[in-house]
Chains A and B, each alone.
Chain A
């Protein structure tokens, strides 16, 4: 039986994620950043389906035994899962909305941390290194693909050309953490091909199962957030490819149009709560103003 007791509770998830997000959206950036406000990347990062994209990506990422082992054995994941998630959301905000220098600094920090993350996965017996481009690519590709899928199901669907453009824009993000650009799928088709090709390496490890059980039902959430989270979870699990659901043994309720609407509504409430955190509204407004200015230009 899987338990989440080894993990610290999830209180503060909203507050700390919000604070990290706000810190990632500068008031006066030196330049337009890695992608710029006219990019599809900005659009995807402001999509209402974004929280589900994040959770779905984590679910897929955890299926790579070496990526999972690195997180499980090295990071403060068990001691401070909320801090770890907040740091990730802050990193993603900085990469997207920060200026180039801020993105470079954040990526350099991640690369430095990765240098020390090496070891042997107890399940496969294989050595791993967090700086291994193959692992970083898996993390990258699942995030990009999840962004497209979640927007399609719970936000504003991306026209195919925009989805391709998003994949192509995001190559730069992979490069930032050390993945050679030439190896990064730059179209939706290439992404699908890469995911299919990588599937044989995936494993349902105990660490993955425990981590995801924690994420899907985080202990210590306030009661109402927990109920909203249940909808977010259903959305993330239900949007996984069938094979991934099978690997985990999840039985997600089917994503009927009615269910999608309900999940969108739950996301709206979650967003309202997020908006209540200090600085979030202002950060959103900064983003909107910059996107509009770019549109007019």
Chain B
């Protein structure tokens, strides 16, 4: 396990890097819609409470659409999502936590693009099932609901029941979308154009490559099923974290079937008591950083639509399409950074770790005090013990600081490719926690998870989690050491 805070530090580094982007951008006219996609690159932005809603509501948008607009053929899919539109939507989704500098026109474009995708007709969806599973859904399943219950980014979700009576959620990919998006992602020149305005030029290649790879992975549901099953196995028996199991025989490249979960949606949960919201926040926080430090995996799609809430801090995590796996070597600098800064109080070592990871140019003419002063703010939730409330204002104030053009650090910071996706989780996570106004002793929770501390349980959930971990070790659960 490594630590939560490393993640936060990264967000800081990324945000600082993006100051460069901002500076570049300032010289250009304020852009209209399409460069929206470029915002992906911009890690910083505000953690405004409203930001996650931009794309969270995919399902809600869809409910408003009438079925008579449903896509009936693969040609309809191509017209709706081909020619870069699916890619643009995906990039927009990745940028959905990031609203700093998002002009109203850009927001409108991304939101309308999302609105513009109607569901597949029952026939079209059934055709995909038939091609993937070798039989029509009415045969593949004991019961099949032809009306989708939710939108997924490149498909939709149906409810069904298996022949042995298990209620399942079946995600069905739009036909032809993988091929057309893969072809669109080949147009690196156009992707670069979409990204270059907001990304520092030296990083655009890395950024394009990373985003391409992640999106391409997402097009193959085999991979998603594998990610999800791995996480489900890892968290099996966890007191508050639930990941639905994959139903193997009913999953394929364009179909993924998992155990059906029910629970309160994000919007409903935000109306719960502050105590309940704090518990939900704690579980999300634990999930993110336990996954990172122990499973070496980072779910890069932390948007509010991907959670179901059950009260008492119990949360079901959905959608593992965008998962970034880290090697131990990639995680090492993050661990070193948080350890050096927060535990060892060794600023010089912190700086060296940043340089080793490629976040900070080696030998930059900056005093270490300046570097620390500027980046430590991202570790603020875990630098000191004690309860702390994450508010939208707090989160955006932190980020705003990094968009300060006068920052002496900005010119010397960049984001290595491996960590591009990582910034999303920070932004996403803190946007969510901010929207919940969540309070906890984040440092104490972090210490439970930090591999170089392994502190004692600090909350009731922490105690339950410790018991779960002990039981797993006792039974020699393969995921006990590392899920990957």
| Chain A contacts to B: CB under 8 angstroms | 14, 48, 156, 222-225, 227-228, 261-262, 264-273, 275-278, 280-281, 284-285, 288-289, 292
Contacts and interface: CB of A to CB of B under 8 A. Distances in A.
Contact of A224 (B32, B85, B110): B32
Interface stretch (B111-119, B140-148, B157-165, B199-207): B111-119
A275 B112 contact: yes
Interface stretch (B13-21, B124-132, B182-190, B412-420): B182-190
A294 to B, nearest CB: 13
21 contacts: A223-B28, A223-B31, A223-B35, A224-B193, A224-B194, A265-B190, A268-B84, A269-B83, A269-B88, A271-B83, A272-B34, A275-B112, A276-B105, A276-B106, A276-B109, A276-B110, A276-B113, A281-B115, A281-B116, A285-B69, A292-B68
Nearest to A284: B116
B85 A268 contact: yes
B28 to A, nearest CB: 5
Contacts of B445: none
A275 B34 contact: no
Interface in B95-123: 105-106, 108-110, 112-113, 115-116
A264 B190 CA distance: 11
State the majority secondary structure of interface residues on B: helix
A273 B109 CA distance: 6
A289 B34 contact: no
Contacts of A276: 33, 105-106, 108-110, 112-113
A269 B105 CA distance: 14
B179 to A, nearest CB: 12
B453 interface: no
B69 A269 contact: no
Contacts of A268: 82-85, 88, 184
A269 B31 contact: no
B6 interface: no
Interface residues of B, number: 34
Contact of B116 (A225, A228, A275): A275
Contacts of A48: 79, 83
Contacts of B184: 265, 268
A224 B183 contact: no
B84 A272 contact: yes
A1 B59 CA distance: 55
A193 to B, nearest CB: 33
B406 interface: no
Contacts of A266: 84, 190
A236 B323 CA distance: 41
B32 A273 contact: yes
Contacts of B193: 224, 227
Given A225-B32, A265-B83, 17 more contacts: A14-B32, A223-B29, A227-B193, A261-B183, A261-B187, A265-B84, A268-B84, A268-B88, A269-B34, A269-B190, A272-B33, A273-B32, A276-B112, A276-B113, A277-B108, A280-B112, A288-B69
Q: Which of A262, A264, A270, A276 has the most CB of B within 10 A?
A: A276
Interface in B401-440: none
Nearest to B193: A227
Contacts of B108: 276-278
Interface in B154-200: 183-184, 187, 189-190, 193-194, 197
Nearest first, the 8 closest Cβ-Cβ pairs linking A and B are A268-B83, A276-B109, A273-B33, A268-B84, A224-B35, A265-B84, A276-B108, A222-B32
Given A222-B32, A289-B69, A281 B88 contact: no
Given A272-B33, A292-B68, A267 B105 contact: no
Nearest to A276: B109
Interface in B64-85: 68-69, 75, 79, 82-85
A285 B115 CA distance: 11
B366 interface: no
Nearest to B27: A223
A48 B68 CA distance: 21
A223 B197 CA distance: 9
B328 interface: no
A262 B109 contact: no
B329 interface: no
Given A224-B31, A228-B34, A272-B85, A265 B187 contact: yes
A265 B30 CA distance: 23
A259 B194 CA distance: 18
A225 B112 contact: no
Contacts of B190: 262, 265-266, 269
B31 A222 contact: yes
B95 to A, nearest CB: 14
Contacts of B189: 262
Contacts of A280: 112
Contacts of B79: 48
Nearest to A280: B112
A228 to B, nearest CB: 6
Contacts of B115: 281
A273 B36 CA distance: 10
B197 A224 contact: yes
Contacts of A14: 32-33
B245 to A, nearest CB: 37
A11 to B, nearest CB: 9
Nearest to A270: B34
Interface in B1-59: 28-35
Contacts of A227: 193
Contacts of A156: 75
B68 A267 contact: no
Contacts of A270: 34
Given A264-B83, A269-B84, A276-B109, A224 B187 contact: no
Contact of A222 (B29, B68, B194): B29
